[in-house]
Structure 1
Amino acid sequence: MFSPQVETASREELHKWQSEGLIRTVEAVYKHVPFYRDRFVEAGVQPHDIQSISDITTLPFTKKQDLRDHYPFGLLAVPKQKLARIHASSGTSGKPTIVGYTKKDLKHWGEMTARAIVAAGGSESDLIHNAYGYGLFTGGLGLHGGIEALGAAAIPVSGGNTERQILLLQDLQPDGICATPSYMISLIEKMEQMGCSPASIGLKYGIFGAEPWSEEMRTKLEQKLGIKAIDIYGLSEVLGPGVSAECHQGQNGLHIAEDHFLVEVINPETLEPVEEGTFGELVFTSLTKEALPIIRYRTGDIAALTTAPCSCGRTTARMTRVKGRTDDMFIIRGVNVFPSEMERVLLEMEELVPHYQIHRIQQGSMEAARVHVEVCEQFYQQVNGDLMHDHVHVLKKTIAKQLKSTCLISVEIVLEKPGGIPRSEGKAIRIIDHRHKQQEGVAK
């Protein structure tokens, strides 16, 4: 372990540290962030009312829109002169959400990410290939900071330039790799096209995140590369990668850095806490951040928590892998479904490869979906490149039947030839929403 004193602390010790951190954070935001001071006043809460983590439910929530409304620096708790770095997340409204870090914030972040690398099976003697994008996106520099804090050697490749990535993987033979799971699949695919066995590059572990991915995707990555595939979680508004991560021993939930964050799971509709083990929306409160402390941040990510013992010996609470996002969930004829649930079904079929897109469309007053999924090269050759072949129709019916049986939804299936789904060098684009364009067309 990287921080055994923390990672094996008793629940009582953790709660004591968390209560102390919560009190400090509430006092800091009340004093230095007008937004929070106003929200506390509206809620009838004063800093002295917060005595322990049991008082967290009296505090107001924070949403992404609050960061956008106070763009760029309205939620900072320190002067701009004390910032050591700025990151940003992309936004659909045109402007990103800006997040800042002090030197102390970056030190803590590096330590948290180092924990994640060790949990994945890494060590200070490792060479680690980092294929997350460097820049305003927190992935690249976030993992880089963890590699350096651990004392390992970083290969800061960033995203893209796939053939060069493969050359470096072959020649440098790193121990670990960091990437989005969808980009790792693209790297594997390109290696195989070049006649290179993905397992021959000698990787021992992979740290994958920045997008929801299924157990079926994990299985494919592990089989192709001969590695342990580990999930890592984080988001820029809370910090970045390293907020939580799986251990290679258990691979059964992501250990949360509870000395730095207090996590809740709420019902996204009632906003009330749910019982341990029940899925709901993750809510994070920072306990040690200086530049951008965050109070009860609604992440939009759906997961569940457990404090049950883990086989690795760590005692920190674990979150399940993210099931999906509240804004990714869609309703098809009254049935709620997440893309990751559909992914599990698609990846179980040997005729298909792990590339798919879900097109949301409007049919009258109801929402519907078309699922575009790519067939493998072997199947494509089997039908002689004819996607109108009888075998193709049978496969489409089989996929639709399996989705109906497993996810309880009826969707249209569109099969694409190999390479037919656009590839991404970062986060995969899984959902394409046509509904607004359809409505605009009707209006015209």
Structure 2
Amino acid sequence: MTYWNERYECMPRSELHALQEERLRATVSRVYHEVPFYRHAFQKLGLMPGDIQTLGDLVKLPFTTKNDLRDNYPYGLFAVPMSEVVRLHASSGTTGKPTVVGYTRHDLDVWAEVMARSLTCCGAGKHSKIQNAYGYGLFTGGLGVHYGAERIGASVIPVSGGHTKRQIMIMKDFGSTILTCTPSYALYLAEVMEEMGVSKDDLSLEGGLFGAEPWSENLRKQIEGRLGILALDVYGLSEIIGPGVAVECPVKEGLHVWEDHFLVEIVDPETGEQLPPGKYGELVITTLTKEALPLLRYRTRDITRIIQEPCSCGRTHIKIDRFQGRTDDMLVIRGVNVFPSQIEEVLFRISHTEPFYQIIVDRKGQLDELEVWVEISEDVFSDEIRKLEKLEEEIRREIEAVLGISVKVKLVEPKTIERSEGKATRVIDRRQL
């Protein structure tokens, strides 16, 4: 097994806990003295920095939410003067202004470190050619991968997103060995490759690091099969640092959280109560080494669980499960919680369907209706009506068995659903809620 930083990645749990507590105390003191928002929050709770000594004291701390960042837009939560901020990024908000994040030189160094570890998990090394198809700019993906790749000494191809046929030409001609992008874009690349007559055997690809959106195990199998690579999940969010908070190792039994930099817990999304390992809930992250924008108990809205069992890869950092979705992506249909990932899992089990779908939610009168548009493969699109009706019925029955509510299914011809060069748009909610 290859590691980037074996000393930290394989640190004994007792040493790791001691390091976390030391860094937690330092972070709490920093935000109390340097960030008025946190100082006021502490005072409202009657809390002083000295009250936080151990990991068990974490539950005493207040939560931080995305709204807190928006309310303090743009720099109100920064813990250092702007003269020490050497980089600014921003996450694209669906409503209102973006959330702004800042980095000191130390923060950029940490980011490069955790991304170097993550890329190494995917098989990258100094002889790798990493085709980075994440977007560059205010979005943290592109530059996060870029600096991690340079840290390990790999050759970076900063192609950014889009220009799909050009991506494939570069992949083939440059001999790219590692691909980084969203999983939905990786699948689209595979589709366009097939249209161009480019085989996976024409490429030198060995691995891919895919993130920025939830994706299923079945989607992984599609990507691995069509591109002939090891496909691993990477997780991050701009507010915390960007990609590199957690990553899968080749064992593929969860994502290792780099716990020397990020302290994680799972809470009940409704009550905020901390949940034990193994229980699904909302992921909450406390940064332990961030200087410019340290955050306490940041509510990510991402749904997962903690896996405590030791990993056979030798890394000692705990794992979180593949993400089930987000609390803000969750649809409530006639009182039932529905995640797009549940529908995706069903579709990938059924033959003659393409891995592209869209969920349409509408309201007729007082009743919510759920319709799933599913692309079908060329070989069955021109088939007789009876066979298409049978396939449609099979899909509807399987989805209803998982969700427990009635759904409509619409089969659409290949290439009907819009492809994405970034995060895929899976849900169209037409309700006026």
Whole-Å Cα distance in 1 between the matches of residues 15 and 242 of structure 2?
A: 25
Match of 2:413 in 1: 417
Number of aligned residues: 431
Q: Deviations over 1:276-297 (max 9, x none)?
A: 1111000000000000000000
Q: Deviations over 1:270-318 (max 9, x none)?
A: 2111111111000000000000000000000000002211111101000
Match of 1:442 in 2: none
Match of 2:388 in 1: 392
Match of 1:201 in 2: 203
1:315-330 maps to which residues of 2 (within 5 A)? 315-330=316-331
Q: Deviations over 1:172-203 (max 9, x none)?
A: 12111001010011111101001111343121
- Taking only the aligned residue pairs, the percentage that are identical comes to 50
Q: Is the 8 A contact 2:90 2:138 kept in 1?
A: yes
Match of 1:337 in 2: 338
Q: Is the 8 A contact 1:199 1:224 kept in 2?
A: no
Whole-Å Cα distance in 1 between the matches of residues 270 and 125 of structure 2?
A: 43
TM-score by length of 1: 0.95
Whole-Å Cα distance in 2 between the matches of residues 117 and 40 of structure 1?
A: 38
TM-score by length of 2: 0.97
Match of 1:408 in 2: 404
Match of 1:233 in 2: 235
Equivalent position SS for 1:314: coil
Match of 1:379 in 2: 380
- For 1:401, the aligned partner's letter is R
Match of 2:428 in 1: 432
1:372 is displaced (CA, Å) by: 1.2
Match of 2:30 in 1: 28
Q: Deviations over 1:341-373 (max 9, x none)?
A: 110111122211111111121233343311112
Q: Is the 8 A contact 2:380 2:388 kept in 1?
A: no
Whole-Å Cα distance in 2 between the matches of residues 177 and 217 of structure 1?
A: 16
Whole-Å Cα distance in 1 between the matches of residues 110 and 378 of structure 2?
A: 46
- Comparing 368-377 with 236-245, which one deviates more in the overlay? 368-377
- For 1:242, the aligned partner's letter is G
Which of 116, 124, 127 is the equivalent residue of 1:125? 127
- For 2:88, the aligned partner's letter is I
Whole-Å Cα distance in 2 between the matches of residues 336 and 4 of structure 1?
A: 41
Give the gaps of 5 or more residues in structure 2. none
Whole-Å Cα distance in 1 between the matches of residues 308 and 6 of structure 2?
A: 17
1:329 is displaced (CA, Å) by: 1.1
- For 1:266, the aligned partner's letter is V
Aligned-pair Cα RMSD in Å: 1.2
1:238 is displaced (CA, Å) by: 0.9
Match of 1:302 in 2: 303
- Comparing 361-370 with 346-355, which one deviates more in the overlay? 361-370
Whole-Å Cα distance in 2 between the matches of residues 362 and 189 of structure 1?
A: 34
Match of 2:190 in 1: 188
Q: Is the 8 A contact 1:307 1:315 kept in 2?
A: no
Whole-Å Cα distance in 2 between the matches of residues 427 and 264 of structure 1?
A: 26
Q: Is the 8 A contact 1:175 1:204 kept in 2?
A: yes
Match of 1:311 in 2: 312
Match of 1:386 in 2: none
